[in-house]
Amino acid sequence: MLLSLNGLEVDCIIGELPDERTRAQRLTVDVELTVGDAAAASDELADTVDYAALAEKVRAALTAAKCRMIERAAKIVCDVCREDPKVRAVRARVTKAGAVAHLGSASAEYCSGTPYDFPEK
């Protein structure tokens, strides 16, 4: 089963430029988690990922990391998600708006798990 968490907003230090190292900027995080299908059968919260808690862990990790690159931020998101034993694989996309003049946003995607762990889109 694929569980998607979309649009998590995180205000954190991100970027290489000197002014970026002194002010928080907003990242948007989208995560796809490959998990078992126990919750689909049981309809019980205990059988799935607590995504409210996971979102808070991701937010805390990115805030503490003060990454220079969105690529690193995407890997951190995957690492946090993989700490949950119910998560078999993760695909994380981190988007930073206004990263470059005249560019709407820049995104980095990182996968932790094999490609076979993700359903075809």
Residue 43 clears pLDDT 80, i.e. is over it: yes
Ordered domains of the chain (ranges, CATH): 2-117 (3.30.1130.10)
CA 77 – CA 90 distance, rounded (Å): 9
Cβ–Cβ under 8 Å, residues 29 and 10: yes
Q: How far apart are the first and last CA of the chain?
A: 13
For residue 101, name the pLDDT band (cuts at 50, 70, 90).
confident
Cβ–Cβ under 8 Å, residues 88 and 36: yes
Identify the CA nearest to 45 among candidates 91, 3, 80.
Answer: 3
Identify the CA nearest to 111 among candidates 80, 75, 87, 68.
Answer: 75
Query: Mean pLDDT, the chain, as a whole number?
Result: 93
Answer yes or no: 86 catalytic: no
Structure tokens belonging to residue 115: 């490609």
Residue 115 clears pLDDT 60, i.e. is over it: no
CA 92 – CA 18 distance, rounded (Å): 27
The model's pLDDT over 19-35, given as tens digits with 9 standing for 90+, comes to: 999 999 999 999 999 99
- Could you say which of 66, 75, 86, 96 is catalytic? 96
* Biggest distance spanned by C-alpha atoms of the chain: 51
